[in-house]
Amino acid sequence: GSYARACRCCTFFDITMSTTNISKKRKFVADGVFFAELNEMLVRELAEDGYSGVEVRVTPMRTEIIIRATRTQSVLGEKGRRIRELTSLVQKRFGFAEGSVELYAEKVANRGLCAIAQAESLKYKLIGGLAVRRACYGVLRFIMENGAKGCEVVVSGKLRGQRGKAMKFKDGYMISSGNPVREYIDSSVRHVLLRQGCVGIKVKIMLDWDPKGRTGPKNPIPDMVTIHTPKDEDESGVAKPFVGKEMEM
């Protein structure tokens, strides 16, 4: 059907329009379908290896897929066996030509600032039987200790008893609207299948401004106010005002 056709289209993505007869609209839809399906596959396959996202780079020669994870060694496998299996899987599923797709594993610089990694961590804590409140506060503290500006953890479902409810845990500063949300907020959602039912986890992390762009966005928040220390009069070149003696009348 059209879904399978869209998946086939995405093997040609980012190659010039003249070589393939797909409209720009279809191309973007196909790219989105490809990314969503690839991401879902990797989430299921590499959940226990600290999977933290994927990036697709297209060059005229080949397509490069960069997998970000906290435990890159287990993603690569023994002598690179697992990454070769994943490469073969992606190649066959999406109809890439032999050798036209490459998979790489990249280590996450700071897992405390990665919402996906923290949502997975919380998921396994809850599966292990840890109390919800304790697990959430542990994740919250870990995120804040790793240099986040703020964070929010929401757990909802049948936590105690038969009635479902949501528990919200917050710390630090969090923005929810405006354009900076796109750059500053990293969020992730996970579902945990517990004995009493399905529990939802939502983790939101607000990153701090980093002028170098390593641990956070380069662009400062528009409403950020910087107060400069006043300069000494001598440095500024302005003469100090002359204060004479008071005249006696």
- Give tens-digit pLDDT for 143-168: 999 999 999 999 999 988 889 999 99
Tokens of 164: 């479902």
Q: What is the pLDDT of residue 20?
A: 63
- Tokens read off for 176: 């929810």
Looking at residue 235, what is its pLDDT?
58
Given a cut of 70, the residues of the chain with pLDDT beneath it are 1-20, 232-249
- 13, 30, 63: which is closest to 55 by C-alpha? 63
* pLDDT score recorded for residue 189: 94
Contacts of 132 (CB under 8 A, 6+ apart): 126, 155, 159, 167
DSSP count for the chain of H helices, then E strands: 8, 7
Burial state string for 118-129 with b = 16 or more CB within 10 A and e = fewer than 16: bbbbbbebbeee
What pTM does this model have? 0.76
